[in-house]
Structure 1
Amino acid sequence: MAVLDAGGYARYDFKTATKLLDMSRSLLEHYQGSLGTLHSEAESAEDLEKKLGTLAKGIGPTTVNIFLRELREIWPKAAPKLSDLAIDAAKSLSFLPDESGENERALARLQELWAEAGGSFRDFSDFETALVKEGLLLRRAKGHEVKAAL
């Protein structure tokens, strides 16, 4: 708990600390304490997501997606889909056409735009994270519009 507090994660409680300990034990037991070993033992991107999700109770698809988004440029098997929030923001900002398309094509298009703007593949996750944050703002704004209409 003290480590979480020192790291600025004051909103986390003992339940979260317990989950982190459970995850660490599972990582030690199954992968010699190495996320690199977990990655190398995964047969595919889908298997990697499954292995991460089974490390401990409470690690769901969103947590796995966020984690792998940060490792997309480092681990070959880290290939999470773009979140709906990122896609909505990219459409709102006219980075993607309004008609829905395949997630992989949307990701490739955003990576292309990022490179054209001078971004590197290694820092694409910064752009993707910014899109997710913008998507959250859009979702909140829509929620306020709905409440106002009621």
Structure 2
Amino acid sequence: MTTIETLLDEGGRTFADEAGIQLEDTPAPLYRLLVLSVLLSRRVQAQLGIRACRELVESGLGTPARMRDATWQERIDALARAKYRSTEQTSTALGEGAQLVLDEWGGDLRRMRKAADGDAGTLAEHLTAVPRLGPVGADIFTREVQAVWPEFRPHLDAKALDGAEKLGFPRDPRKLAEQVPGDDLARFAAALVRETVNG
């Protein structure tokens, strides 16, 4: 049977880390995680979404102001370089989403954190107001952000719990969280999701 230590060693890399996001409780990394969550909300391979996020950031679009101020075509070109599909709709959504983050949260998602006050349901409501970020994307964001927003631990969504069940771990998020150090919970969740997707 796979142990938690083995799982963390073999697959315990967050999607944010794969996308080159050094996640911290500061505006730019949190916004980049939001963009990644939008890209992964679509039915695309995770690697495509990760690559598209990297390309957008490397193209200088890693803050809401820069994303909003980029032309529609500049966003399309960055997505196309990453071979991401639905470039036109996604370019529009990213521009509108950046404007929403600026208007509603002053460009700083820590304000969203404060408004959610530790309630994952409230956080999901705020997140799904972002264009093209549905419940799946909200789960991705919360699953990853628990690394720096500990009040949302444990966040193990249905995909993570499916992976846990497949490996013979308890399906109860609290029981699982008791076996994993808090700082490793986001990595553990990512590893469980990979088990579900790759299995």
Give the TM-score, by structure 2 length.
0.54
Counterpart in the other structure of 2:83 = 10
4+ residue stretches of structure 1 with deviation over 3 A? 2-6, 76-81
**CA separation in 2, counterparts of 1:34 and 1:128?**
25
Cα gap change, 1:42/1:89 in structure 2, threshold over 3 Å: closer, same or farther?
Answer: closer
Q: How far apart, in 2, do the equivalents of 1:80 and 1:60 lie?
A: 20
Give the superposed CA RMSD: 2.2
What's the CA shift for 1:4? 4.1
Contact 1:48/1:77 (8 A) holds in 2: no
Deviations 1:118-142 (A, max 9, x none): xxx223211111111111233xxxx
Amino acid paired to 2:101: L
Write the mapping of 1:1-150 to structure 2, written as runs, cut at 5 A: 1=75, 2-4=77-79, 9-12=82-85, 13-43=87-117, 44-56=119-131, 58-79=132-153, 81-96=155-170, 106-115=172-181, 121-138=182-199
Partners of 1:84 and 1:41 lie apart in 2 by 25
CA contact (8 A) 2:162 2:196 kept: yes
Whether the aligned pair in 1 keeps the contact of 2:177 and 2:185 (CA below 8 Å) is yes
Do the aligned partners of 1:45 and 1:79 also contact (CA within 8 Å) in 2?
no
Amino acid at match of 1:47: T
Identity of aligned residues (%): 28
Alpha carbons of structure 1 residues 135 and 125: separation in structure 2 relative to 1, 3 Å: same
Structure 1 residues 88 and 41, CA gap change in structure 2 (3 angstroms)? closer
Classify the secondary structure of the residue corresponding to 2:179. helix
Change (3 A) 1:3 1:34: farther
Structure possessing the higher relative contact order (Cα contacts under 8 Å, 6 or more residues apart): 2
Supply the AA of the counterpart residue of 1:23: G
Paired positions, count: 122
The TM-score with structure 1 as length reference comes to 0.69
**1:148 equivalent in structure 2:** none
Contact 2:142 2:155 in 1 (8 A): no
Structure 2 unaligned runs (5+)?
1-74
String of CA shifts for 1:11-36, please: whole Å, max 9, x gaps: 14122121111111001111111111
Matching residue's letter, 1:53: T
Distance in 2 separating the partners of 1:133 and 1:77: 24
Q: Distance in 2 between matches of 1:80 and 1:18?
A: 33
**Cα distance change of structure 1 residues 77 and 10 upon mapping to structure 2, 3 Å threshold:** farther
Shift of 1:80: 7.0
